[in-house]
């Protein structure tokens, strides 16, 4: 982690070096989601084990299964996480942002509709209007990346890109 507490790539070369594989992206998301180790979202227990089915982790107390992408904008995606990370980089590193067409072209996304949906998911998350009743404080000015605020009421968290 960087000395200032921020742990995001500062250059495109660093992004490509650190997040070139699905495993590296998932490890990073796990570190952001559970900085002090696994914590069950259902019961709060601090111990779980891999289920052997993808990246699912099962709680040792209540047997709830979760993953590092559960409850995030990545949940249910069929595209690889490194592509999502590059999309976030493109959106946050450009002074005036990026268009859906630019995102489609630069990432090689098959359809404009997918690029548009991704861009709007990212914008919705970073604007704090991700479909929750919570107030989330998102930092997304250049070059920082988003992180969720754990201070939501009623145990709800905003959808996080991480």
Flag whether 24 is in a domain. Answer: no
The verdict on 78 and 121 lying in the same domain is: yes
Residue 141's CB is within 10 A of a number of other CB atoms, namely 8
Instruction: Name, in order, each residue with C-beta under 8 angstroms of 1's C-beta and a sequence gap of 6 or more.
Output: 7
The verdict on 81 and 67 lying in the same domain is: no
Flag whether 45 is in a domain. Answer: yes
| Contact indicator for 44, 84 with CB cutoff of 8 Å | no
Q: In the prediction, which pLDDT does 5 show? A: 54
The verdict on 86 and 143 lying in the same domain is: yes
The verdict on 67 and 90 lying in the same domain is: no
Flag whether 23 is in a domain. Answer: no
The verdict on 144 and 94 lying in the same domain is: yes
The verdict on 67 and 117 lying in the same domain is: no
Q: In the prediction, which pLDDT does 133 show? A: 30
Flag whether 92 is in a domain. Answer: yes
d(CA 98, CA 87): 9
Regions of the chain where pLDDT drops below 70: 1-6, 128-162
Instruction: Name, in order, each residue with C-beta under 8 angstroms of 106's C-beta and a sequence gap of 6 or more.
Output: 86, 90, 98
Q: In the prediction, which pLDDT does 148 show? A: 41
Closest residue by Cα to residue 69 from 120, 23, 29: 29
Q: In the prediction, which pLDDT does 44 show? A: 94
The verdict on 141 and 105 lying in the same domain is: yes
The model's pTM is 0.75
The verdict on 42 and 97 lying in the same domain is: no
Q: In the prediction, which pLDDT does 40 show? A: 95
The verdict on 101 and 48 lying in the same domain is: no
Q: Which residue segment(s) compose the domain that 83 sits in?
A: 72-129+137-148
∠ CA 29-68-89, nearest 5°, is: 35
The verdict on 64 and 76 lying in the same domain is: no
Phi first, then psi: give them for residue 139, nearest 5 degrees. Answer: -100, 120
Q: In the prediction, which pLDDT does 83 show? A: 96
């Amino acid at each position: 982690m960087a000395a200032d507490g921020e742990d995001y790539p500062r250059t495109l070369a660093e992004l490509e070096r650190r997040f070139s594989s699905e495993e590296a992206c998932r490890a990073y998301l796990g570190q952001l989601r559970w900085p002090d180790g696994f914590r069950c979202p259902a019961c709060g227990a601090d111990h779980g084990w891999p289920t052997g089915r993808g990246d699912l982790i099962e709680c040792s107390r209540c047997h709830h299964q979760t993953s590092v992408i559960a409850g995030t904008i990545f949940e249910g995606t069929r595209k690889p996480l490194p592509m999502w990370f590059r999309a976030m980089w493109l959106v946050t590193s450009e002074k005036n942002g990026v268009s859906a067409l630019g995102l489609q072209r630069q990432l090689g996304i098959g359809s404009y509709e997918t690029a548009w949906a991704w861009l709007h998911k990212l914008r919705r998350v970073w604007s704090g209007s991700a479909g929750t009743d919570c107030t989330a404080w998102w930092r997304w000015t250049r070059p920082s990346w988003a992180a969720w605020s754990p201070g939501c009421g009623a145990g709800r968290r905003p959808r996080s890109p991480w």
